[in-house]
Structures are given as structure tokens and as C-alpha cells.
Structure 1
Amino acid sequence: MTNKLEKIILIDDSGADNYYHQMIVEKAKVCKMVTAYDHAGDALNMLGDAVKKNQRLPDLIFLDINMPVIDGWEFLNRYEGIVPQDLRHPVIIILSTSVNPSDHERAESHPSVTAYCNKPLSADKLRDIVDQYFS
């Protein structure tokens, strides 16, 4: 499975988690480019710029829930205001350590969220996600 996707983005305030997950994605060779964002606002700016410039959006977004300033839920609310409904939307996977059942339920019921996955991301989980949503 080499470079099945164009771009994956990671959104997590933990630099260590982003580094680890970026290494997993790069070693799995499932995409041409992976970019990590420590601040959800930076990812929103990138998405907004891509929409304005009519550029391709990422294929897959891994999103943490518990982040300062803009948490995962606020990111999703703002994302829906930035990306028009008629565009091809990225697959959004919540990637979290949260053990709160309401977070899992909220993710499953959110229209922009494709799935919920517990951290850490592993190569096997990543391959399963790519196989399931991009085959």
C-alpha cells in the first residue's frame, strides 16, 4: 500500500503525539504528505486557504478532542462553516485518549466525524482505516 492518499493531517496539541503519529503515517507509506498541527486554529486556516484557492483538501484528518483554545468539538463547528457542503470532504477520525463515553457517543453522532479511534495510532489501525474508507 504505497501512497494511496495524497495528504493526511494530524491535529493534536501534544507535540510528542504528533511526532509519533507522523512517524507511523510516514513509515506506513499510505500517503504522499503528512502534516501535523499543534493548534487547531492553524489547521482551520490551512483548510480555509485551500477552499479559497480551490485546492484539494486533505484526504484524512486525525483530530484530538482535548486541546486548549480550540478543542476538537469547536474545530468541527468552525470546519463546517469553512468547507462548503458541495466539496469532497476529508474523512475525519477522532483520535483521542478520552475514556469518557459521552465523547465517543458525541463523535459517533457528529455529522462530520467518520469514526472514533483511541490513541495511540498504530500502523495496523492506520492500514485498517485506509482500507475501510479509501478502497
Structure 2
Amino acid sequence: MTAKLENIILIDDSSADNYYHQMIIEKARACKTVTSYTHAAVALTALDNAVKQQQRLPELIFLDINMPAIDAWGFLDRYEGIVPQDLRQPVIIILSTSANPSDHERAESHPAVSAYCSKPLSADKLHDVIEQYFN
């Protein structure tokens, strides 16, 4: 796969998961830059700065559900206040190990979330996401 995207963001409190997922993305050559955050608040600050400085937003965000301080739902609430609707919205994919059916339902019904995907990210899952949302 040739780099179709400029930037993919990983938001997961597990640095090991971020590292593994980043390796999958880089090996697939799916994008030019992979940025990972272990704190949702830091990712929100980066997105806010990008909006304020009129920089290009990432095309794709993989977001874990269960994180300390700010979980996926808190991230999404704050995200909606940061990224104006008139900007091209990143595709947000929940990437989680949560076995809670209500998490899956909540993710699928959230307007900012494009899909729910179980961890770990694989080359096949990545390929399917890129084919579905970027072709």
C-alpha cells in the first residue's frame, strides 16, 4: 500500500499498543506520519492548536475507549467543541478491547465515530478502513 494519507493519530493510554499499532501502520506505508498520544488531553491540545494555526488535521484517528482522566467519550465531547463542523472531519475509529456491548453500541451511534474495531489493529483491518473511508 502506498501512503494515501498524510497523518494518522493513535490515542491510547498503552504505549505498547501505540507502538505496535504504529508499526502496523508504518509497515503498511498507509501514511506519511503517525502520531501517538498516551493522554487524550494532549491529543486534544494538539488538535486545538492545529485548528487555531489552520494546519491540516489528521485524516484518521484511532481512539481507545478506556483511558484514565479522559476516556473516549470525554475526548469526543471535547473534540466536538474544538474541530468546527465546516472543516473536513477526521475519520474516527474506536479501537478497543472493550467487551461491553454498550460501548460498541455507543460508538456506533456517536455522530463523530465512523466505526468500532477490536484491538489489536492488523494490516487487514487497516487496509479495510482505508479502502472504506479513503477511496
TM-score (norm 2): 0.99
TM-superposition CA deviations, 1:48-69 (whole Å, max 9, x none): 0000001110000000000000
Alignment match, 1:133:
133
1:64-83 to structure 2, matched below 5 A, reads 64-83=64-83
Alignment match, 2:87:
87
Alignment match, 1:31:
31
What one-letter code is carried by the residue in structure 1 that aligns with 2:91?
V
C-alpha displacement of 1:129: 0.4
Which consecutive residues of structure 1, in runs of 5 or more, have no partner in the other structure?
none
C-alpha displacement of 1:37: 0.2
What one-letter code is carried by the residue in structure 2 that aligns with 1:7?
N
C-alpha displacement of 1:25: 0.4
Distance (Å, rounded) in 2 between the aligned partners of 1:45 and 1:101: 30
C-alpha displacement of 1:9: 0.3
TM-superposition CA deviations, 1:3-30 (whole Å, max 9, x none): 1000000000001100000000000001
What is the SS of the residue equivalent to 2:128?
A: helix
Distance (Å, rounded) in 2 between the aligned partners of 1:15 and 1:83: 25
Q: Percent identity?
A: 76
What one-letter code is carried by the residue in structure 2 that aligns with 1:92?
I
What one-letter code is carried by the residue in structure 2 that aligns with 1:5?
L
Alignment match, 1:55:
55
What is the SS of the residue equivalent to 2:8?
A: strand
Number of equivalenced pairs? 135
What one-letter code is carried by the residue in structure 2 that aligns with 1:70?
I
C-alpha displacement of 1:74: 0.1
Distance (Å, rounded) in 1 between the aligned partners of 2:119 and 2:30: 19
Alignment match, 2:21:
21
TM-superposition CA deviations, 1:73-120 (whole Å, max 9, x none): 000000000000100000000000001100000000000000000000
What is the SS of the residue equivalent to 2:99?
A: coil
Distance (Å, rounded) in 1 between the aligned partners of 2:35 and 2:59: 12
